[in-house]
Amino acid sequence: MRLAELSERSGVPIATIKYYLREGLLAPGRQINARTAEYDEEHLRRLRLVRAMIQVGRLPVATVREVLGHVDDDSLGRALRLGAAVWALPQVPEPDEDDEYVRAAHQEAAALLDRLGWENAKRLSTISPAYRSLVVAVAAFRRLGYGFGAELLVPYAELMYRTAVLDLDNMETQPSEEERIEWAILGAIINEPILQSLHRLAQEEETTRRYGFE
């Protein structure tokens, strides 16, 4: 397809596509002559991914370029490509390791992983943004005087594990390795708000079931 058709099918203006091409977010098309290039379905798929990261995820171009670099690095195994791409997305700041609440949260998080038997998560805990986010959140609860330790977190973690299994099952239905990695990136950007919304809807349902509307 020519640039005009790529724009029409993707809903992305031609000027924006040219910008993505200049920034290296989209691979060049196959050159037909000095002024015309041809694009294919892979360009269309990648363009939609870039658009989702920038428009929905609000990611800066530099971050999108970094994420795509991991997506396209076929020298890595699937687990590393997934991890590197998702970890390149914006994360919470590093916690203050001198903070007593952070130290206590680390102990709670480690105890949680022990109780769950998540040995791989333990091995990745020193570099995992997800582990860091958990520590920051648990520390915030403790700082406010509320306990949210391993005992309370276990059933939540078990539910999330079932969700992760569904995520990967759905990812593996994608026809190519690149599309599986892209699916995971879209999941991190779009699926998490969906899960958060479903969680809140479930809370509304259960709250009104228990206490009524008054």
pLDDT at position 73: 78
| Token reading at 192 | 């998490």
DSSP for 100-139, please give it.
HHHHHHHHHHHHHHHHHT-HHHHHHTTT-HHHHHHHHHHH
| Token reading at 84 | 């590197």
- List all residues 6 or more positions away from 102 whose beta carbon is below 8 Å from its beta carbon: 95, 96, 135, 136, 139
Parts of the chain with a pLDDT under 50? none
Least Cα distance to 26 among 35, 12, 210 occurs for: 12
Measured distance CA(24)–CA(35) in Å, rounded: 19
The most distant pair of C-alpha atoms in the chain lies apart, rounded to whole Å, by: 70
Measured distance CA(90)–CA(207) in Å, rounded: 33
**What domains are defined for the chain?**
3-87 (1.10.1660.10), 100-211 (no CATH)
pTM for the whole thing? 0.76
